[in-house]
Amino acid sequence: MSPKASGVKQVAQNKKAYHEYYILEKFEAGVELFGTEVKSIRAGNINLKDAFCTVKNGELFTQGMHISAYEKGNIFNRDPMRPKRLLMHKREILRLYGRIKQDGLALIPLSVYFKDSRVKLELGLARGKKLHDKRESAAEKTSQREMDRHIKARNV
């Protein structure tokens, strides 16, 4: 048996992204982190609410992803809001960069999880929703909830 933990463990999710954007495609990327940041993520001290991704010099970075300082980290803690480099193949990054520039899309972090003891970030290629779209999706969600309630009441 290997010392690595196997499987996928969800740590954080960006629920606001699903409300603000239409998610067209999803991608997986590794995250370049320091030891105290990984320990802080294991403790669940991460926030993706206002995070977004940028391409700079052919490299992919995430901005606004807040990883709180590790309590026992003292001098080894890094700035919680520093840009974190994402690890993807060069060809994938260039393809995403083309889509972002040409189609006016955004690259948004959707969730953070551990996959075989490595921190992974799920990215979504997204198009922004207008206000009427947000209202429409909220109305659909409400009507679906009511239908589920009626079905459950009849089956009991």
Domain-located, residue 118: yes
Domain-located, residue 122: yes
Domain-located, residue 77: yes
Domain-located, residue 152: no
- Domain harbouring 96, CATH code: 2.40.280.10
**Does residue 4 surpass a pLDDT of 70?**
no
Can you say whether residue 132 is alpha, beta or left, with left for phi > 0 and alpha for psi between -120 and 50 degrees?
A: alpha
CA angle, residues 10, 13, 14, in degrees to nearest 5: 165
Range of the domain at 45: 8-129
Using alpha carbons, select from 126, 123, 115, 125 the residue that is nearest to residue 11: 115
pLDDT at 1: 42
How far, CA to CA in Å, does 113 sit from each of 12, 94, 98, 105, 121?
A: 7, 24, 27, 24, 7
Share of the chain above pLDDT 70, in %: 91
Taking residue 91's Cβ as centre, other Cβ atoms within 10 Å add up to 8
Average pLDDT for the chain: 83
Domain-located, residue 91: yes
**Does residue 65 surpass a pLDDT of 90?**
no
